[in-house]
Structure formats: structure tokens, C-alpha cells
Chains A and B, each alone.
Chain A
Amino acid sequence: MGEVQAAARTLGIEVVTLEIRRAEDIAPAFEALKGRGQALYVPSDAILFSNRIRIITLALGARLPMIAVLREYVEAEV
């Protein structure tokens, strides 16, 4: 994730990292994010990818703009 952080620093954007280890951590991570981020970056990762529907649903619910590495996130039907 160093690359995203470095790029953010260059653009003057502060970064909040939401750490997860398993699928069950994703919903609490979104809870913890409330009011702390204006947008969400989802890097390429097998666990995140397998849970893309869950992630998109949570992002939509929180009205949080989100960008991901793979187009399947955009194409997923929620």
C-alpha cells in the first residue's frame, strides 16, 4: 500500500488505513471509518475481491465514493 500512500502524499491527501484480516472485519472497518474519510480506495486483494459485493453495499450505504483496481467491482450487481 506504500504506493497509494506515496501518491496521496504527493497530492496532499491524508490517508486513513482500514486494516482487515478476514471478511468479518470489513463491516466493522466501515463503522470505524465514519466521518474520517471522503473516499475509499480498494486495492487488489483476494479477500477483498471475494467480498466485493459486501464492500460495494457498505460503500453505497455510507454514500462513500470508492475506486478499485479491477472493473469487476463496478460491474458487480448490487
Chain B
Amino acid sequence: MRRREFMALLGGATAAAWPLYARAQQPSRLPTIGLLGVSTPSAWGHWVAAFVQRLRELGWTEGRTVAIEYRWAEGRTERFAEIAAEFVRLKVDVIVTAANAVLAAKQATSVIPIVFVLANDPVSTGLVASLARPGGNVTGLSIQSTDLAGKRLELLREVIPGLRRLAILTNVGYAAAMQNGRGSGRGPHARHRGRNP
């Protein structure tokens, strides 16, 4: 390894370790993650375990270098806003959530960073400005649920060659929530899909 590369590596490692060290010096308040669970601890258990484990691998050990406030909406959408407001009061450092709770979190704060575990179509629902440049205080993973709709239907049609009638299971509460979310400066006609180059 050339010396310059080695120094860069060393510098990078020091920089990465620094915030952890700095925070570890202030035991009075650990950096806090507000985890807004849409569902129940049992339904989300293995994901939360994976999240906590990966945090630990990155040097953020729960209870030592980071605190996690868990709140579970248990599928009751009216709880999303209450929990989000509580996180704002608690001044958590980041909110981690998913699905339609992201919108409630976004409405509760434009300052605290919000990371969503997954969203169906974060651009058209107004969670982010674009996939390339999300802007604002919200970011996360898109599962491109809508982009791949046609592919899924093609697959289904391969399984059932004479497919003429398809049923779709729809949570109308979710659809309504997403419609409301578009209100902020994006009319239904401003709907824009796909990725930016």
C-alpha cells in the first residue's frame, strides 16, 4: 500500500471514529433514535434486531453509545402523529420509521432527520423531491413498488395465460393518507414518476 493511500485511510478512520468518541464523552444524554414502529414488536422483531445489530457493528451500541426510543403504533394510523409529536418533544436526533408513518413524521418536524426503512413511491407521495436529490429532512429506501407493477402483472399472466380479471387488495386508509400527503405544493397532476438521471 502506498503511503498516501495509507494516510488517507488512517485519516478516514480517525474522522469516522471522532463523532463517536466525542459523544461518548457526554454520558448525560446519548444520541437518541426515535423508532416509530407501524406495526407490533412481534411483527417487526427480526428487522429491529437486524437494525440494532448493524448499529452495533458500526460502533453504536444500544444503551452505551446510542439510545433507542421504541414506540409501536400497532397498525393504528391515528397513533402515528401522536408518536411523531412525542419524538419532537423528546428532541430525538433521528426518527426511523416506515410506510405511511413517514408522512406523519414529516408533518411533525422539518428539522429532525427522518429515515424511512422503505416507501412504495416516495417521490409521487411527496416524501422526497426526487430519488437522486431527496432534499428536506427525509430520506430512505424506495422499493419501487409502482415502477414494477407492470412486471408483476406480466409474471402473473405467465402463470395464468388466460388472465382477464384481477383483484387488488387495497387499504383505502393508506390511499387517503397518501392523497393528503400530496397536498403540499404537488397537485395530483404534478405526479412524477421514475428516477432522475
Contact = CB atoms under 8 A, between A and B. Distances in A.
B75 interface: yes
Contacts of A42: 169
Interface residues of B, number: 40
Given A45-B99, A49-B39, A13 B163 contact: yes
A41 B75 contact: no
Interface residues on A, range: 35 or more
Contacts of B153: 4, 7-8, 11, 13, 41
Given A7-B153, A38-B163, A46-B99, 7 more contacts: A1-B175, A14-B166, A23-B75, A41-B153, A41-B167, A46-B39, A55-B169
A42 B173 CA distance: 15
Contact of A39 (B147, B148, B167): B167
A10 B173 CA distance: 27
Interface of A: 1, 3-8, 10-23, 26, 29, 33, 36-50, 55, 64-65, 67, 69-70
Interface stretch (B12-20, B55-63, B129-137, B154-162): B154-162
A36 B170 contact: no
A17 B160 contact: no
B107 interface: no
A8 B150 CA distance: 7
